[in-house]
């Protein structure tokens, strides 16, 4: 299959995450319409991701284990605009006219980040029906506000029908608002990984925020989508 370098690189960047919650391996399902991934962060259930990359695939549907997502990202970065992606029994092969790279796959039975799709859908269906949209400039503003204090968590609220932000550390405190429409009343505390996710997205996002529910980040571009659930803090 022919893959656009930029699209695959962006998809892997979100899947990989970073820092404490970095995903090093994951299961990917090859489908006719593209590649689907459903994973939970290793050793924790703080964050779960469901993603889909739109790439036409003419083989049989199958599930493979990515062994090293970070390495695969580095390999993809060697190609300029596009490359061919093929799959053997135990390898992914990336190639163009000048370069060929083989990446070993992991036996799906040994991938520890597997997440049940029904469980994910059940949690997702319980989220608020109201969405909050943030564009790239608003995302950058939120990240800058958060980094000012350097906390390990963030509190999000409905503040006069705008998105309110609170960040606290060692008796230092920041309070701000993002000028976007908010309907539902809520106050939710999320771990720093929420901001870490925002720092690696290249597109506008949708948030779903409710009292007593996980935080939700939705990412949708022309070629890939992600649904991300983040466990709230008490």
CATH of the domain at 215: 3.10.150.10
Q: Which residues contact 112 (CB under 8 A, 6 or more apart)?
A: 25, 42
Whether 12 and 73 share a structural domain: yes
| In the predicted structure, residue 169 carries a pLDDT above the cut 80 | yes
Q: For 17-21, 43-47, 97-101, which range has the lowest pLDDT when averaged over its residues?
A: 43-47
- Average pLDDT (6-17) is 93
| In the predicted structure, residue 24 carries a pLDDT above the cut 70 | yes
Whether 188 and 75 share a structural domain: no
- Average pLDDT (209-229) is 94
Q: Angle at the Cα of 94 (from 92 to 95), degrees rounded to 5?
A: 145
Q: Which residues contact 33 (CB under 8 A, 6 or more apart)?
A: 52, 54, 56, 57
Whether 224 and 152 share a structural domain: yes
- Average pLDDT (16-37) is 90
Whether 156 and 101 share a structural domain: no
pLDDT at position 45: 60
23-47 core/surface letters (b: 16 or more CB in 10 A; e: else): bbbbbbbbeeebbbbbbbbeeeebb
pTM of structure: 0.91
CA 19 from centre of chain:
14
Distances (CA, A) of 121 to 11, 195, 221: 21, 23, 21
**Residue 143, Cβ density class (10 Å: 0-12 exposed, 13-18 middle, ≥19 buried):** middle
pLDDT band at 184 (very low <50, low <70, confident <90, very high): very high
CA 126 from centre of chain:
20
- Average pLDDT (81-95) is 93
Domain of 11, in residue numbers: 2-125
């Amino acid at each position: 299959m022919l893959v656009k370098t930029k699209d695959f690189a962006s998809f892997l960047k979100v899947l990989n995450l970073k820092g404490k919650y970095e995903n090093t391996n994951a299961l990917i399902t090859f489908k006719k319409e593209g590649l689907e991934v459903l994973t939970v962060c290793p050793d924790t259930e703080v964050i779960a991701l469901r993603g889909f990359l739109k790439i036409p695939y003419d083989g049989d549907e199958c599930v493979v284990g990515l062994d090293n997502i970070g390495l695969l990202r580095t390999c993809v970065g060697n190609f300029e605009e596009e490359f061919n992606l093929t799959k053997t029994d135990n390898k992914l092969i990336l190639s163009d006219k000048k370069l060929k790279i083989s990446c070993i796959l992991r036996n799906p039975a040994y991938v520890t980040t597997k997440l049940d799709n029904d469980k994910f859908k059940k949690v997702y269906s319980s989220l608020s029906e109201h969405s909050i949209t943030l564009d790239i400039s608003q995302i950058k503003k939120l990240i800058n506000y958060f980094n000012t204090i350097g906390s390990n968590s963030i509190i999000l609220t409905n503040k006069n029908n705008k998105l309110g932000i609170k960040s606290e550390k060692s008796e230092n405190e920041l309070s701000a608002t993002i000028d976007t429409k908010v309907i539902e009343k809520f106050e939710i505390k999320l771990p720093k990984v929420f901001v870490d996710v925002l720092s690696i997205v290249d597109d506008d996002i949708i948030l779903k925020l409710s009292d007593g529910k996980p935080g939700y980040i939705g990412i949708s571009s022309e070629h890939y989508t992600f649904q991300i659930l983040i466990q709230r803090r008490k």
